[in-house]
Structure 1
């Protein structure tokens, strides 16, 4: 491959990484808003398929999966506080279906949100919120250490 073509490919790759970072930052900021891959891709100047493939290569999961993980992490924090019920938390973090929320929560955390709400308050009692967030962060099956 000619040197100029390699430089052009490298420059394009860096531009794509910058766009992917902006998409990830937007998901982090606007997780509670109605976000979909089509809109994220359009705003990034990419097709939805290209965004999904490149995002997964860069971050290890699809944009939708990343969004749901952020929502579940925030839901965990809200449930630990104990001020809101599961349904209220579901809508507060941007989910529109209690069933989907509960299913994804259970997949990521290992227990349903109602059980987590009861048990998490006891498990993290007395911990600063920043520590509680770190020790209770959901671990996907693919991230779990081998036993």
Structure 2
């Protein structure tokens, strides 16, 4: 495993292409993992239907899955929980307030245990989602 250094500045806005290149990840999805860099990029896209919200310095990030109940045993939800608890994976947060503009917030840490809450899915049907409380790491 190589040491991974992020060459992005917190607070700056980047394109999806720049994010993809910087982290060596897919250009789609709200959770993007790079095995090569042992890095997980979280995209909190406020222009879509997820109900991510901030309270003080904690972002309550909604897990992966657009339809039906979400699972901690599924895809990047499992990875986010496991990398935060059991490994030294690097986790980085981007927020989208305007389509195509990714604001880099910096590295984050899961600061509380994930929990479930009720939200509407992309078909407006009630479902259980996993919420991951993350906090930006202070330099």
Q: Using CA pairs under 8 Å that are at least 6 residues apart, name the structure with larger relative contact order, 1 or 2.
A: 2
TM-score w.r.t. the length of structure 2 is 0.30
Larger Rg: 1
Greater share of residues in helix: 1
